[in-house]
Structures are given as structure tokens and as C-alpha cells.
Amino acid sequence: MGSRTYNIITFGCQMNEHDSETISGMLQQRGYTEVVRKEDADITVINTCSIRENADKRFFGTLGQLKKIKAVNPEQITCVCGCMMQQEHVVKEVRQSYPWVDVIFGTHNIHEFPDMLDELVSAREKDENRITRREGGMTASEYAIAKHDIRSSKKTRVEKIYEDKKEIVEGLPAKRKFRHKSFVNIMYGCNNFCTYCIVPYTRGREKSRHPEDILAEVRNLVNDGVREIMLLGQNVNSYSGISTLNGEKWDFTDLIYALDELEGLDRIRFMTSHPKDLSDRLIGAFAECKSLCKYIHLPVQAGSTHVLRRMNRKYTREDYLLLVRKLRKAVPEITISTDIIVGFPGETEEDFRETLSLAEEVRYDSAFTFLYSPRKGTPAAEYDNQIPENVKHERFGRLVEVMNRCSCEKNAAYVGRVVEVLVEGEGKRPGSLNGRTDGFKLVDFEGPSELTGEMVKVEITDSNTFSLKGRLI
Ligand code: SAH
Ligand code: SF4
Ligand code: F3S
């Protein structure tokens, strides 16, 4: 076939980004090379996200662009995967309206993708033979039409989607974006069924990796020059891994303590933790473990206990505020970020004001704020007290104002301080670099690009809402 280049378009969260790194790793292992533009690729992969409606829209928009590319290059192999492919109605729509899509796979069978490509290639060869046999009596344009018909027909598509899977497939390669930092999946899936959220349906039930597998992976990464890891899971602190050595159960905090022992690993981060599972022991680990970054992303979603109950979050406003107090008591300088949904069905003005007051009380370093987006198949999408769009937008604007003011004030407090920064790479302005502090603050400063991957000291000279500016010391 001669198909040798690929391009991956990724939507969604870190989980998807990491899955794309695995897909990339598997393709490179088979000798494919990555290209920047989808126009130049023999294979394109769209890794999809279902979390909100605009993620859906972007997927179908991208498919539309690929159709044009495919009209020019009918040999291009188009693959779609990710969370949207775990939704029956989406797969139906792809089959019906985008029959030229060649490969469809889900979130539970990424490891099978290379085999699916092989299957597609041999199916295409068979088609090719069929046309070649008939070719004698064909003009060049008839041949082109026959080939085009075959490429856009359903016959040559390869589809594999599992509902869920008990086993975790270990040992898949991954092509990292950065040399000095890496994602590490510790668990998959989610059991929480927050009433607004599609993830439990697209990622299946919680499954934790064995601690030894995680430790071995991290050791290899450290040997390869990685200094910072981000432990990934939809709900990392409900991690429950069984030791392959003695059958003992490890919880998330056990894992943190073990990782903290690893020589050469400077920073451990994790994402995301659910407030209901944030134990006192884990809070204590922030104070005790030298490599655990003093930063936590702790999604609150809403400030009203009434709304939280209907979201099925399993904590109250007071429970959450208590956790924040405990975290700040254990580690006064800890930075905290959050996710908030505005306009959940039935959210009253009163409820919304509780979100505003909670935000004022916690004073987050940063926040991701979302307009509630009904997701087909989730309970909240069926609730009959949906909030009108204009009300959602109006509340959203007020919340963002509070959040930005807090972020701005928090960042301003860093001016004059010296912070340690792990350099991520070149910044936006020529000659500038950026990196992150232990507390996940983005810092912009001038310096040579050779410092990428190094830990440096920077004096903060200026700040704004989303980042700090500084001078290399
Ligand atoms: N597992 C993570 C969240 C993953 S989704 C956790 O529990 O924190 C990331 C964020 O998207 C969620 O925290 C939530 O704020 C937001 N989100 C999820 N479903 C949504 C929906 N239907 N509409 C708007 N925002 C949503
Ligand atoms: Fe979604 Fe809730 Fe699970 Fe997070 S914990 S992935 S918000 S269901
Ligand atoms: Fe999106 Fe799936 Fe992540 S729905 S947010 S890519 S788990």
C-alpha cells in the first residue's frame, strides 16, 4: 500500500491525549512517521470526546474537512476512535452519513488498532484485485470511478467496538510529547455516574493497574529522562490496585508514597481527584512527600448542596469547604483549581449565588467553568427543568468575573518571589521560555532553549490572570 505517514487529531481530556500518544507509539513501532498536516497524511485518526456538545460539533466539522481531503486523495485511510465511538447513536450516524470512514474503534480496544489497519489494507487489496480483473474492458475514468465507489462503500470498513473489558492491556508503547514529563495512566473508567456526565458510559467501569506495573513504567520513564509525571484517571483517588507480589491492596496514597521514593523523579502530579475520596492520609501526603506537587485540581461543580445532590456528587458544600480548610492547614501554600458547571437543570438564582460565594470563599488559583450541556443517555438530560441558554450565559459571565479576579489576585501575590520552574520549552515570544512551578503556575521568562527540561530559579516580576512573568536567576 505504501501508506507510511499519519496524523492524529485529538479532542478531549488528558486521557484522550495519552491514548493518542499510545496510538502514535503503535504506529511508529510499525514504521509510520507523524506529519503535522492532515493533508499530508496517509492515515488520519480522529480521537473524539463526548463531554459537551461543542466537542461533538468539532468532530463532525473535522470529518467534513477530511471528506474534502479524501476527494483529492481517495487512498487516505480515515480512522475514528475515542469516547464518541462508544455511543451507539454516533456510530450509526458515522455509518450512515460518512460511509467513507475506513476504521472505527472504541476506547476499550485501542491496542487492536494496528491489526485493524492490516485488516483494512488486505480488504482493500482484495477490492483492488476485483477491479484489476475487470480492468481489461474499462477506460481510465471508469477504473477511477470503480475505485472511488469501492473506497466510499461500506464493504472495506473495519469496525471494532467493545462495550467494556475486564483486563487492562499492559506494555503498549507511547510516543511522548515532552522528553521531561509524561502521563501515566493508573486507572481507567468511572463508577460515579454524576447525572450530567457521559464518561461512565464511554469509558466503562473503574479498573486499576497493578502497582508494580505502574512503578516499573515510572522507573523506565525516569531512566529515559522524565522528571515529572502526571498520574491519570477519571477519579485517581479511588485507585485500588492489587499487588502482583503478595495480593495486597494498594490505595492511591500508598502509590504516592511508593512513587515518592523513586530516585530521579522530581515531581508527581495527578488528575482528577473526586472530593468524596480525598482522604486525610492523602492530604497528609502533600505535606510529607517531597516530590508530590503542592497543587490539587479538585472539581466542585456547584456551590449549592441541593444542586450537588441532584448531580449525584456525594458531598455537600460544607464537606467540600472542610476539605479545602484541611488542605490549607496541611500545606498553607497549596494551589487549588476546580471545575464548575453553570446552569445545571433546576439551578435557581439562589443556588447559583451559592456557587459564587463558594468561589469567593475558596479563592481558587484557577478554574475551568462550563455551561451545562445535556448529554444523550445521562439522567440530567431528561430533567424537565432545563435552564434557558440566556440565563446560563448570564450566570457564566458573572462566575468568570469572580474566578478571573481571584486568579489575578493570587498571581499578583507571587511578584517579588523566587520560584522553581521546570522549563517546558519555548514560549510564544521569540527568545522566551515557559515552564511550570510546583503549584502549576505558568511562568514566562527569557532564556536559552537548551534549558528545556531543566529545573531553574526565576524571580517573578509581573503577573496577569493566567500566568506569571519573571527573570531567570
Ligand atoms: N473525572 C473528572 C471530570 C472529567 S470531565 C471529575 O470527576 O472531576 C471534566 C469536567 O467537565 C467535569 O469536571 C465537569 O465540570 C465538566 N462536565 C462534564 N460533563 C458536563 C456536561 N454535561 N456539561 C458541562 N460540563 C460538563
Ligand atoms: Fe464524570 Fe463524575 Fe465520573 Fe468525573 S466523577 S468522570 S464528572 S461521572
Ligand atoms: Fe472527553 Fe472522553 Fe475525556 S468524553 S473529557 S475524552 S474521557
pLDDT digits (tens, 9 = 90+) for 227-262: 999 999 999 999 999 999 999 999 999 999 999 999
**Which ranges constitute the DSSP H helices of 231-274?**
252-260
Q: Residues in the chain, how many?
A: 473
Q: Residue 404 in contact with residue 465, Cβ under 8 Å?
A: yes
Q: How confident is the model at residue 128 (pLDDT cuts 50, 70, 90)?
A: confident
Helix/strand/coil for 266: coil
Answer whether 411 contacts ligand 3 (Cβ < 6 A).
no
Looking at residue 152, its pLDDT comes to 65
In terms of pTM, does the model score above 0.85?
A: yes
Looking at residue 162, its pLDDT comes to 85
Answer whether 274 contacts ligand 2 (Cβ < 6 A).
yes
Q: How confident is the model at residue 2 (pLDDT cuts 50, 70, 90)?
A: low
Which ligand 1 atom minimizes the distance to the CA of 299? 8
Average pLDDT in the 353-359 region? 98
Ligand nearest the Cα atom of residue 206: 2
- Single out the residue of 81, 84, 69, 82 nearest to residue 35, CA to CA: 69
Q: Which of 16, 188, 191, 192 to mutate to test the pocket of ligand 2 (most atoms within 8 A of CB)?
A: 192
Give percent of the chain above pLDDT 70.
97
Answer whether 296 contacts ligand 2 (Cβ < 6 A).
no
Average pLDDT in the 364-378 region? 97
Whose Cα sits closest to atom 1 in ligand 3? 49
Looking at residue 3, its pLDDT comes to 56
DSSP 8-class letter at 110:
G
Whether 200 shows a pLDDT value over 60: the answer reads: yes
Whose Cα sits closest to atom 7 in ligand 3? 199
Q: What is the largest CA-CA distance in the chain?
A: 83
Q: How confident is the model at residue 443 (pLDDT cuts 50, 70, 90)?
A: very high
Answer whether 83 contacts ligand 2 (Cβ < 6 A).
no
pLDDT digits (tens, 9 = 90+) for 307-325: 999 999 999 999 999 999 9
Q: How confident is the model at residue 380 (pLDDT cuts 50, 70, 90)?
A: very high
Q: Residue 440 in contact with residue 397, Cβ under 8 Å?
A: no
Q: How far apart are CA 317 and CA 337, in angstroms?
A: 16
Whether 335 shows a pLDDT value over 80: the answer reads: yes
Answer whether 339 contacts ligand 1 (Cβ < 6 A).
yes
Whether 64 shows a pLDDT value over 60: the answer reads: yes
Whether 61 shows a pLDDT value over 50: the answer reads: yes
- State the first-to-last Cα distance of the chain, in angstroms, to the nearest integer: 54
Spacing of C-alpha 146 from chain mean position: 41
Answer whether 273 contacts ligand 1 (Cβ < 6 A).
no
Q: How confident is the model at residue 155 (pLDDT cuts 50, 70, 90)?
A: low
Q: How many angstroms separate the Cα of 282 from the Cα of each of 256, 300, 330, 438? A: 8, 18, 10, 17
What rounded mean pLDDT belongs to the chain? Answer: 94
Q: Which three cell numbers stand for residue 457?
A: 530559579
Average pLDDT in the 150-154 region? 64
Q: Which three cell numbers stand for residue 340?
A: 464548575
Q: Which of 45, 51, 205, 376 to mutate to test the pocket of ligand 3 (most atoms within 8 A of CB)?
A: 51
Q: Which three cell numbers stand for residue 21?
A: 500518544
Average pLDDT in the 347-374 region? 98
Answer whether 193 contacts ligand 2 (Cβ < 6 A).
yes
Spacing of C-alpha 335 from chain mean position: 21
Q: How confident is the model at residue 1 (pLDDT cuts 50, 70, 90)?
A: very low
DSSP 8-class letter at 437:
E
Q: What does R_g of the chain's alpha carbons equal in angstroms?
A: 24
